[in-house]
């Protein structure tokens, strides 16, 4: 190649992509579809997520059919948008939430999560460094959960048209044969299991907002549950119901089970694991921990005869060390959740009305 | 948790319940009808439901849930006034969270916020003062609501605004006072009450003396009570003890918080900033003389009603609503014609369905009431009467 041809080639390479974002903040140019956007994708997103499906940067990820066939007979497909405020909080950030949340939505259906998408809506003026931190946290969370981020999209909106950063992730997984987990599957006599302390995420977000100047060290429980759930299904393939208790807390999930199965969920207040810090915050602010959001907690309804072996297995997994039986399923009064209070009385735990706390995930 | 769990000890609860059971056996009224005890405070109502205390008590004791939920008893017209103020273009309207969902005649504050009004939830009136400092070009209005419990903090905020020379802060004053209201209930001809679990945090401010007319003139015992479940049980026990011993007194169960004479500094602040209105409208109870509080002339510059014009329209309670009868203990919440059908916590028609401290909402949310059975019974009754 002649010297001039070489120069032209180098120049055209430079013209195509620099692979590096210039400047410290996101501008409207980064969402324009042009060179700046390409730089942003190369630098921040490919820089973090790079894998064989994503790197060609086609308009779609081309997934190999063969990967879906391992003794599975159904695909699981889900989507979720994340708008948490603040973006960074003790125990995680919007990125870890966006990966773990979608992984968990797949896993609670009994699916093995495989692939995620990542769509970002960024407010003009957002810090590139923060975006980079969030993207690399997403990749770390994805690796930990054993999934790949294989496709994505970036939009930048003018200042004020969105609050800093919103992320949408969709996910695909495969459901093994004979696994049938559903909200209407509960049976009278089943037991209710939680994989640990409830309310940590909601409490951590309240803390991180700093509106109340409370001195706390509550961390979000943000974590992927697919590993734990895989182990649970190994031990007890006939898990009846399984959901992650995100917005609305365990109260909401149990109400969904009670209504779908037309049975009564009876909770024993003394056996529900709640951290002292979280209890204290709830006392002060008049919140109910049963309604506080979680981002790494599941509620499982399982046949009583498997409860002990399942609990033992769960406690051996890092995501389930504090697992506990928190109640049982009864035939009546049907369609409601009843709490046996440690004080000795009983009360109904209803669906949440309105919003206990906005923008927690 | 220290200083919390001690007041929720199930063993002590059992002990008290046993004693309560023994005491009701000695009370003659209980052989003819259940003893009716009114807890005045919404906070007490909340505790009773949250811990399932009603089911722990013998059937011969009936708790009547009184008017002490300031959010519930706020009339629709006042909510409309709030919204008119909040929708003023230059106003930041600040409020406690539980007032957000109270329905006005057309909408709630929550709906007004969704439509674009600058309405902010705060936890202390001092937060409103901070917002006023940060937004000198805006008028910041604090929605002052509550009994004597919250009055001192509102009064002190006005005094703090005066001291700091803050001119863009004012109150929409909806404070109310509990004693005239208890008197109005006692004067009601349908009344059957046998005793009162008296307000705890109100008494922390006003002391125990203002209730003496209840025991002396109306011959009803009253026990000022705390808000933990054991406080409530002990107060009921103390009331029963008075009844069995033929006493009729004002007693103080909440001694760890309530001084006999109240809190002088708090009362001074209240008296400096506030005065009684001639009358004030209560949702479900109608107009009660000297039950409302307004800002004195000396502090008129902090009175939103003087700075802005409010519609000040009187909106009648919905006809089907039986809140007044529930408040007086004449009917139980679920005996109301619209309970659980036209009136639910989601779309409240009546005052008592609005806040979690309202008796109807508490029954609806926490109570074990078979709604389908209830509605069937109600319909059957209606058919018979037609």
Query: Are residues A167 and A200 part of one domain?
Result: no
Helix B125-134, helix B151-164: angle, nearest 10: 30
**How many Å from the N-terminal Cα to the C-terminal Cα in chain A?**
55
Residue B311 in contact with partner chain A when CB distance is under 8 A:
no
Q: What is the CATH number of the domain that holds A194?
A: 3.90.650.10
Is there a single domain that holds both residue B160 and residue B255? yes
**Given B290, B316, B342, which residue is the final one in a domain?**
B316
Average pLDDT, chain B: 90
Q: Has residue A351 got a pLDDT over 70?
A: yes
Q: Are both A162 and A297 inside the same structural domain?
A: no
List helix spans (H) across chain B.
10-25, 29-32, 42-50, 53-56, 76-86, 109-114, 125-134, 151-164, 178-186, 201-206, 212-216, 229-244, 264-273, 304-307, 323-327, 359-366, 371-385
Instruction: Find how far residue B294's CA is from the centre of its chain.
Output: 18
Structural domain boundaries enclosing A172: 22-176
Q: How far is A274 from chain B (nearest CA, A)?
A: 11
Residue A206 and residue A82 share a domain: no
Read off the pLDDT of each residue in B129-143 and give the average, rounded to a whole number.
Answer: 97
Q: Are residues A211 and A99 in the same domain?
A: no
How many degrees, rounded to 5, is the angle at CA B255 between CA B175 and CA B158?
A: 30
Query: What digits encode the pLDDT tens for the residues A264-273?
Result: 999 999 999 9
Rounded to two decimals, the pTM is 0.88
Give the C-alpha separation, A111 to A123, whole Å: 34
Pick from B155, B174, B168: nearest CA to B95: B174
Q: Are strands A92-93 and A88-89 parallel, antiparallel or unpaired?
A: antiparallel
Mutate to test the interface with B, among A255, A264, A344, A356 (most CBs of B within 10 A): A344
Residue, of B97 and B61, whose pLDDT is higher: B61
What is the pLDDT at residue A262?
A: 96
Using DSSP, state whether A340 is helix, strand or coil. Answer: strand
- Cross-chain residue pair B51–A343, CB shorter than 8 Å: yes
The predicted pLDDT at position A258 comes to 97
Q: Does B58 touch chain A (CB under 8 A)?
A: no
Q: Which comes out higher in pLDDT, residue B147 or B364?
A: B147
Residue B224: which domain range?
A: 1-316
pLDDT at A145: 98
Residues 6+ apart with CB under 8 A from A146: A113, A226, A227
A23, with CB counted inside 10 A (0-12, 13-18, 19+), is exposed
Instruction: Determine, yes or no, domain membership for A51.
Output: yes
The whole-number pLDDT of residue B382 equals 67
Same domain, A125 and A214: no
Claim to verify: residue B268 and residue B141 sit in the same structural domain: yes
Is B101 in CB contact (< 8 Å) with chain A?
A: yes
More confident residue, B189 or A125: A125
Per-residue model confidence as pLDDT tens digits over A110-139: 999 999 999 999 999 999 999 999 999 999
**Tally of structural domains, chain B:** 2
Residue A7 lies in a domain: no
Mean pLDDT of all residues in A165-175: 97
Please state, rounded to an integer, the average pLDDT across all residues of chain A.
92
Residue A361 predicted with pLDDT over 90: no
Report whether pLDDT(A15) > 70: no
pLDDT of residue A329: 98
User: Which residue out of B52, B58, B99, B334 would a mutagenesis test of the A interface target, given it has the greatest number of A Cβ atoms within 10 Å?
Assistant: B52
Tell me what pLDDT residue A14 has: 56
For residue A333, the chain B residues in CB contact (below 8 A) are 368, 370
From B271, B300, B316, give the residue that closes a domain. B316
């Amino acid at each position: 190649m002649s010297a001039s041809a070489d120069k032209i080639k180098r120049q055209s390479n430079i013209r195509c992509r620099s692979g590096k974002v210039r400047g410290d903040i996101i501008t409207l140019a980064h969402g324009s579809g042009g060179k700046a956007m390409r730089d942003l994708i190369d630098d921040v997103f490919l820089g973090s997520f790079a894998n064989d499906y994503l790197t060609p940067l086609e308009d779609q990820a081309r997934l190999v059919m063969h990967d879906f066939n391992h003794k599975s007979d159904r695909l699981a497909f889900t989507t979720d948008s994340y708008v948490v405020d603040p973006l960074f909080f003790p125990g995680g950030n919007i990125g870890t939430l966006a990966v773990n949340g979608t992984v968990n939505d797949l896993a609670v259906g009994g699916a093995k999560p495989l692939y995620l998408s990542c769509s970002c809506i960024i407010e003009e003026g957002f810090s590139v460094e923060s975006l980079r931190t969030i993207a690399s946290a997403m990749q770390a969370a994805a690796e930990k959960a054993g999934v790949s981020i294989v496709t994505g999209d970036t939009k930048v909106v003018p200042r004020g048209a969105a609050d800093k950063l919103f992320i949408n992730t969709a996910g695909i997984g495969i459901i093994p044969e004979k696994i049938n987990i559903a909200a209407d599957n509960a049976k009278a006599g089943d037991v209710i299991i939680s994989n640990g302390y409830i309310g940590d995420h909601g409490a951590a977000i309240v803390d991180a907002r700093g509106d109340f100047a409370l001195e706390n060290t509550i961390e979000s429980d943000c974590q992927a549950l697919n590993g734990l759930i895989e182990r649970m299904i190994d031990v007890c393939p006939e898990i009846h119901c399984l959901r992650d208790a995100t917005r609305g807390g365990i109260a909401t999930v149990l109400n969904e089970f009670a209504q779908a199965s037309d049975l009564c969920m009876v909770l024993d207040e003394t056996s529900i694991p709640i951290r002292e810090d979280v209890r204290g915050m709830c006392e002060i602010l008049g919140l109910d921990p049963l309604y506080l959001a979680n981002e790494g907690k599941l509620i499982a309804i399982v046949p009583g005869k498997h409860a002990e072996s399942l609990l033992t297995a769960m406690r051996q997994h890092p995501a389930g060390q504090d697992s506990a039986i928190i109640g049982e399923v009864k035939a009546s009064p049907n369609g409601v959740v009843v709490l046996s209070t440690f004080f000795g009385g009983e009360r109904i735990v209803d669906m949440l009305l309105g919003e206990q706390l906005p923008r927690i995930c | 948790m220290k200083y919390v769990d001690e007041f929720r000890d199930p063993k002590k609860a059992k002990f008290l319940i046993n004693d309560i059971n023994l005491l009701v056996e000695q009370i003659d009224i209980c052989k003819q009808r259940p003893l009716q005890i009114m807890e005045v405070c919404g906070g007490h109502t909340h505790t009773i439901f949250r811990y399932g205390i009603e089911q722990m008590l013998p059937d011969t004791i009936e708790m009547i849930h009184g008017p002490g939920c300031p959010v519930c008893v706020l009339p629709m017209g006042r909510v409309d006034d709030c919204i008119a103020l909040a929708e003023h273009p230059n106003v930041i309207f600040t409020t406690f969270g539980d007032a957000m969902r109270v329905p006005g005649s057309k909408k709630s504050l929550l709906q007004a916020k969704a439509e674009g009004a600058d309405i902010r939830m705060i936890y202390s009136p001092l937060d409103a003062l901070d917002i006023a400092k940060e937004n000198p070009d805006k008028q910041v209005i604090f929605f002052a609501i509550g009994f004597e419990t919250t009055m001192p903090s509102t009064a002190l905020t006005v005094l703090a605004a005066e001291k700091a020379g803050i001119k863009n802060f004012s109150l929409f004053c909806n404070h109310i006072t509990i004693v005239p209201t208890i008197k109005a209930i006692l004067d009601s001809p349908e009344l059957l009450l046998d005793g009162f679990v008296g307000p705890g945090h109100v008494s922390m401010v006003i002391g125990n003396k203002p209730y003496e007319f209840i025991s002396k003139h109306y011959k009803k015992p009253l026990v000022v009570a705390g808000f933990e479940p054991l406080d409530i049980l002990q107060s009921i026990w103390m009331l029963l003890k008075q009844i069995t011993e033929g006493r009729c007194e004002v007693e103080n169960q909440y001694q760890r918080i309530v001084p006999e004479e109240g809190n002088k500094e708090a009362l001074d602040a209240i008296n400096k900033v506030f005065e009684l209105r001639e009358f004030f409208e209560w949702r479900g109870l109608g107009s009660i003389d000297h039950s409302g509080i307004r800002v004195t002339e000396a502090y008129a510059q902090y009175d939103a009603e003087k700075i802005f014009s409010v519609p000040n329209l009187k909106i009648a309670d919905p006809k089907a609503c039986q809140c007044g009868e529930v408040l007086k203990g004449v009917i139980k919440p679920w005996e109301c014609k619209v309970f659980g059908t036209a009136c639910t916590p989601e779309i409240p028609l009546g005052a008592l369905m609005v806040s979690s401290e309202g008796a109807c909402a508490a029954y609806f949310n926490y109570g074990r009431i078979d709604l389908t059975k209830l509605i069937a019974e109600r319909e059957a009754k209606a058919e018979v009467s037609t």
